[in-house]
Amino acid sequence: MNHTNIEIKARIDNPDQIREILKSHKADFKGTDHQIDTYFKVSTGRLKLREGNIENSLIYYQRSDQAGPKQSDVILYKTDLNSPLKQVLTQSLGELVVVDKKREIYFIDNVKFHIDQVDGLGSFMEIEAIDDKGDIDKDVLLEQCRYYIQILGIPEKDLVTNSYSDLILEGANA
């Protein structure tokens, strides 16, 4: 499935406050997922295999590294948890890095919210305004993302430019 997201990632020190705001806006809580994202060595974009108790997918995406709302073009392929896909990808491409996180998943309409606790990195919030049918204008997605940044009280200084994989790799190289 191909789709477009406008998304942000931010460091947070107030996950309880974020949860309360999401609940007050009638967010649909889908559950808490323990996710292992294995990133593979690729020449362009990012390729990861997500293994969780809720979400299991092979995900390829391209996006610029910038603070604030950014477009992400995604190809998502649903997988089974015990698929041999990880072994095939590891042997053929090589493993880049593994991200281990606990993720709370919420939705309000087409907007997905994550409250993440990432091993070695801390607490984060993600907002993804998703167009998975090709019928939502990118300006509408951008406006949704900006709206929820404001509602959730996310300061610009807390916005993160890179993926968790980049942050882990930067820490390993520091």
List the pLDDT tens digit at each of the 174 positions of the chain.
788 899 999 999 999 999 999 999 999 999 999 999 999 999 999 999 999 999 999 999 998 887 789 999 999 999 998 889 999 999 999 999 999 999 999 999 999 999 999 999 999 999 999 998 888 999 999 999 999 999 999 999 999 998 999 999 988 665
Task: Say how far residue 76 (Cα) sits from the centre of its chain.
Answer: 12
- Lookup result for tokens 């919030």: 125
* Residue with the two structure tokens 């806006």: 25
For the chain, domains (ranges, CATH) are: 2-167 (2.40.320.10)
pLDDT tens figures, 146-157: 999 999 999 999
The helix (H) or strand (E) run that includes residue 16 is helix 15-24
**pLDDT for the residue numbered 51:** 96
